[in-house]
Structure 1
Amino acid sequence: MSLYKETYSGLHETPPVRAELVVRPDVLRISFSISLEVGGIEQGLPLLQRTSEQLQRRVRDALGTEVTLKLRDVRFNRSAPKKLSLPEDENRAFIAVDGSLSVPLPAELDFWARGTRVGTLVRVCHEVERDSREEKKRPRFQFGSMEALVAQPEAHRAELLRRFVARARELATAAGSPEAPLQVVDCSLPGPVEQSPVSLEEVGLTLNVPCRLGVVRGTGARDAESPAP
């Protein structure tokens, strides 16, 4: 799901949710990149730091709520040489910082209040991108897609495990028989809870639990195995 930089035409059909558990998102997250061409790394990084903090304050003031800034990576590259470059231009470097902004979506916000929060954030991002293009020596902003997510997906692990156990028992009952009852014969540790953004009101959660069902040994029946759901 992309809530930003997406072209809408006609009726927008939401695809069916393919997940074990569907919950309401509680955070709005948008990725961004700030880049700058400077004469030295020492002067570039402090400027990008101040610029990212200014972005955080600008979004916070516009929304009237707390905004979390998370920086992920920094990239350094030598600037491409120009045809009419001066000797001092040879040491110029391109610096980029990647990060994200997270805005809470409290449970008490209805659909329209959530939509207003999205619209305000989109407007601020457009304004920041526009302002960053007005001056050549100013840090340049680029924003990625905006997604509605769950801030703590692992909090739903217990419910996902309960649902997995219920499905495994249901499959064992349906596929087995009194002569060849099925049960879980091998199970690996579950992976992390994965989430798939769907819409402003839905996010799908999935927990991968590699398991196999097999015939209970000692029943006299031939062993057989099948993957659990």
Structure 2
Amino acid sequence: MSLSYKEKYASPLHEPAPVRAELVVRPDLLRVSFSVSLETEGIEQTLPLLQRACEQLQRRAREATGTEVTLRPRDTRFNRSAPKKLSLPEDEDRTFVAVDGLLVVPLPAELDFWARSSRVGSLVRVCHEVERDSREMKKQPRFNFGSVEAIFSQPESHREELLRRFVARAREIAAAVGSSEAPLHVVDCTIPGAVEQTPVSLEEVGLSLHVFCRLGVETP
């Protein structure tokens, strides 16, 4: 899905990849990953600065998209900064601190394709502006962003339908390969894992449920 604001030039024709999934649904959320970091001497002052930077990011994204924006911090990293060739002794104790997270924006069903595209454009624009502004200000938190993805918020709600489709497919294969003298049945099956989703476009998300089963002839 080509929703990254980092692509300077777009190809004149984009051929969508085929959807390889058991079920295709319409996405209802936009998601973009981010990282905000700061190199500092005092770790105790750094996290409050990064928290304020995240709050400002959330506010700017809310104003740009005109809707509620959820900011989800996920991880914090602390690393000793690599010494520079001309560094001063007092610079040797500097620490790199980073917070990784997600920005999540709703994508309601009533929005048509063009309204959805407009919301993506607003989110991409604010990410670009925040990243640019952070690079222009020295000794301030610096932002980096990933690509915007359209996802489905409740993939597990379709587990029953995915299981039904798997059973129907297994029966179809058993009927096609087996015979009346040696009918095939499911003789071994693993417990299904979580429903997995694959973002495809603004209008499609592929849902899959991986179940590994073995067909065989039942013996008395």
Q: Tell me the TM-score normalised to structure 1 length.
A: 0.91
- Offset at residue 84 of structure 1 (A): 3.4
**Corresponding residue of 2:169:** 167
**TM alignment of 1:28-39, pairs within 5 A:** 28-39=30-41
Letter paired with 2:44: E
What 5-or-longer segments of structure 1 have no aligned partner? Answer: 219-229
- Offset at residue 81 of structure 1 (A): 2.1
- Offset at residue 50 of structure 1 (A): 1.1
Letter paired with 1:209: V
Give the Cα separation in 1 of the matches to 2:61 and 2:122. 9
**TM alignment of 1:83-94, pairs within 5 A:** 83-94=85-96
Give the Cα separation in 2 of the matches to 1:93 and 1:165. 54
| Count of aligned positions | 218
**Corresponding residue of 1:155:** 157
- Offset at residue 179 of structure 1 (A): 0.7
Give the Cα separation in 2 of the matches to 1:74 and 1:181. 56
Larger Rg: 1
Residue 187 (structure 1) aligned to one of 181, 189, 193: 189
**Corresponding residue of 2:67:** 65
Give the Cα separation in 2 of the matches to 1:107 and 1:171. 36
- SS of 1:148's partner is strand
1:24 aligns with 2:21: no
**Corresponding residue of 2:126:** 124
* Alpha-carbon contact 1:78-1:93 (below 8 Å) kept: yes
Letter paired with 1:3: L
Give the Cα separation in 1 of the matches to 2:166 and 2:101. 35
- Offset at residue 122 of structure 1 (A): 0.7
- Offset at residue 65 of structure 1 (A): 1.2
The percent identity for this pair of structures is: 76
1:198 aligns with 2:217: no
Residue 99 (structure 2) aligned to one of 74, 84, 97: 97
**Corresponding residue of 1:114:** 116
1:3 aligns with 2:13: no
Give the Cα separation in 1 of the matches to 2:125 and 2:3. 12
Give the Cα separation in 2 of the matches to 1:136 and 1:92. 15
What 5-or-longer segments of structure 2 have no aligned partner? Answer: none
**Corresponding residue of 2:43:** 41
Give the Cα separation in 2 of the matches to 1:177 and 1:83. 76
- SS of 1:95's partner is strand
- SS of 1:155's partner is helix
Letter paired with 2:20: R
**Corresponding residue of 2:180:** 178
Q: CA deviation digits over 1:124-170, x for unaligned, max 9? A: 01110111012111111110111111111111111100100110111
Give the Cα separation in 1 of the matches to 2:192 and 2:83. 51
CA RMSD of aligned residues (A): 1.2
* Alpha-carbon contact 1:193-1:206 (below 8 Å) kept: yes
Give the Cα separation in 1 of the matches to 2:21 and 2:154. 17
- Offset at residue 214 of structure 1 (A): 0.9
